[in-house]
């Protein structure tokens, strides 16, 4: 039997997703526009998960650091029982509306998150256990308050994704989705991820400015041998840094080595492993000797 794992971007809590999945060729009837009677209804009651690229775009739009953005505009949540962290938009204080909602519409429209762009379509990202790459399919979300479904416009999901600028957003979130799917599909045999690996995942995926400081810290530069031009590129560009972060996590969490270790550090690590296996062998030898002593002692009695 082949299991399928899914990471979804269902944009609103309790959304009744039409259960059948479809691909990008499916035509939907939908249009949202200013002046429609339900204007802003969808932004008045939010449950929106953010991708790392969503955070990057929003913090750039607001001109603040990722740490400040996380503090002011988001809430953390656990994506699964292993504690893999996700981040959602934090609604207004004592309310359910989005902090970016204005009477004119979305206050961060050019940089609105993936889930807002997709609505009323839900993205279902799946990966089969025996396959490395994920596949995307979609589902339609029909909520009573959304009158866009009555508008006389037919459009395929692929065309809708293009119109909403989603190709770029999906492409740049792919590495993150693959990490989540891989972590979920690792299952209980790999065990619960350590607290440190979960913290690392959170920092790299969501707090890009703290990750930038980490990349320049001695803890990182002492261990990893990154060419100077590559370091320059990732330090100067948030998107390049984010993509490097996914690569770094694949190395740290799944042992997919693509970043060279410094010779000295690698040597030290090799010595540590040797020392550890030497110790295990020594302990096993001592245990065997003790067992033999006990056995001979028994004979003498
Ligand atoms: S970010 Fe914009 S589109 Fe998304 S919920 Fe907030 S106001 Fe609405
Ligand atoms: S048509 Fe739907 S998406 Fe557009 S404003 Fe109304 S509720 Fe929101």
Rounded Cα distance, 180 and 186, in Å = 10
Q: How many CB atoms lie within 10 A of CB 260?
A: 12
Of 32, 46, 54, 26, nearest in space to 138 by CA = 26
User: Within a domain: residue 34?
Assistant: yes
User: Within a domain: residue 51?
Assistant: yes
User: Within a domain: residue 291?
Assistant: no
Domain span at residue 23 reads 4-186
Token pair of 143 as six digits = 């909520």
User: In the prediction, which pLDDT does 6 show?
Assistant: 40
Which ligand is closest in space to the CA of residue 11? 1
User: Within a domain: residue 70?
Assistant: yes
User: Is the preceding peptide bond at 120 cis, omega within 30 degrees of 0?
Assistant: yes
Distance 42 CA to ligand 2 centre (A): 6
User: Within a domain: residue 146?
Assistant: yes
User: In the prediction, which pLDDT does 272 show?
Assistant: 73
CB-ligand 1 contact for 108 (6 Å cutoff): yes
CB-ligand 1 contact for 101 (6 Å cutoff): yes
Rounded Cα distance, 94 and 14, in Å = 20
Which of ligand 2's atoms lies nearest the C-alpha of 41?
7
Contact indicator for 106, 116 with CB cutoff of 8 Å? yes
CB-ligand 1 contact for 157 (6 Å cutoff): no
Domain count, the chain: 1
Q: Which of 98, 118, 147 to mutate to test the pocket of ligand 2 (most atoms within 8 A of CB)?
A: 147
Rounded Cα distance, 28 and 246, in Å = 34
Contact indicator for 207, 59 with CB cutoff of 8 Å? no
Token pair of 125 as six digits = 């990202």
Residue 249 buriedness (CB in 10 A; 0-12 / 13-18 / 19+): buried
pTM over 0.75: yes
Ranges of the chain with pLDDT below 70: 1-20, 127-133, 185-192, 264-265, 269-270, 273, 297-301
- The three-state (H, E, C) secondary structure of the chain, written as one string: CCCEEEEECCCCCCCCECCCCECCCCEEECCCCCCCCCCCHHHCCCCCECCHHHHHHHHHHHCCCHHHHHHHHEEEEECCCCCCEEEEECECCCCCCECCEECCEECCHHHCCHHHHHCCEEEEEEEECCCCCCEEEEEEECCCCCHHHHCCCEEEHHHHHHHCCHHHHHHHHHHHHHHHHHHHHHCHHHCCCCHHHHHHHHHHHHCHHHHHHHHHCHHHHCCECCCHHHHHHHHHCHHHHHHHHHHHHHHHHHCCCCCCECHHHHHHHHHHHHHHHHHHHHHHHHHHHHHHHHHHHHHHC
Which of ligand 2's atoms lies nearest the C-alpha of 149?
1
User: Within a domain: residue 208?
Assistant: no
Rounded Cα distance, 267 and 261, in Å = 9
Which of ligand 2's atoms lies nearest the C-alpha of 151?
1
Among protein residues, the one with the nearest Cα to ligand 1's atom 2 is 106
User: Within a domain: residue 285?
Assistant: no
Q: Name, in order, each residue with C-beta under 8 angstroms of 136's C-beta and a sequence gap of 6 or more.
A: 24, 123, 124, 125, 126, 170
CB-ligand 2 contact for 106 (6 Å cutoff): no
User: In the prediction, which pLDDT does 187 show?
Assistant: 54
Token pair of 56 as six digits = 């990057």
Burial string for 97-129 (b: 16+ CB within 10 Å, else e) reads: ebbbbeeeebebeebbbbbbbbbbbbbbbbbee
User: Within a domain: residue 124?
Assistant: yes
């Amino acid at each position: 039997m082949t299991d399928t794992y899914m990471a979804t971007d269902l944009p609103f809590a309790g959304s009744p997703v039409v259960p059948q999945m479809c691909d990008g060729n499916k035509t939907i009837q939908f249009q949202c526009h200013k002046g429609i009677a339900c204007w802003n209804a969808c932004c008045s009651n939010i449950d929106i998960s953010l991708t790392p690229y969503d955070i990057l775009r929003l913090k750039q739009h607001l001109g603040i650091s990722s740490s400040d953005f996380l503090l002011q505009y988001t809430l953390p949540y656990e994506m699964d029982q292993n504690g893999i962290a996700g981040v959602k938009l934090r609604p207004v204080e004592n309310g359910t509306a989005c902090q970016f909602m204005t009477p004119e519409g979305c206050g961060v429209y050019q940089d609105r998150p993936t889930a807002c762009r997709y609505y009323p379509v839900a993205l279902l990202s799946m990966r089969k256990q025996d396959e490395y790459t994920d596949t995307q399919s979609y589902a339609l979300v029909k909520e009573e308050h959304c009158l866009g479904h009555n508008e006389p416009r037919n459009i395929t999901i692929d065309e809708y994704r293009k119109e909403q600028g989603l190709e770029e957003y999906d492409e740049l979130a792919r590495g993150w989705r693959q990490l989540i799917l891989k972590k979920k599909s690792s299952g209980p045999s790999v065990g619960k991820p350590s607290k440190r690996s979960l913290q690392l995942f959170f920092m790299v995926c969501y707090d890009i400015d703290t990750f930038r400081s980490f990349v320049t810290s001695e803890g990182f530069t002492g261990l990893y041998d990154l060419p100077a031009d590559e370091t320059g590129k990732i330090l100067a560009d948030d998107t390049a840094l984010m993509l490097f972060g996914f690569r770094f996590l694949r190395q740290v969490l799944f042992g997919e080595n693509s970043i060279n270790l410094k010779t000295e550090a690698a040597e030290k690590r090799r010595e540590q492993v040797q020392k550890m296996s030497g110790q295990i062998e020594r302990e096993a030898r001592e245990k065997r000797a003790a067992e033999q002593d006990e056995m001979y002692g028994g004979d003498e009695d």
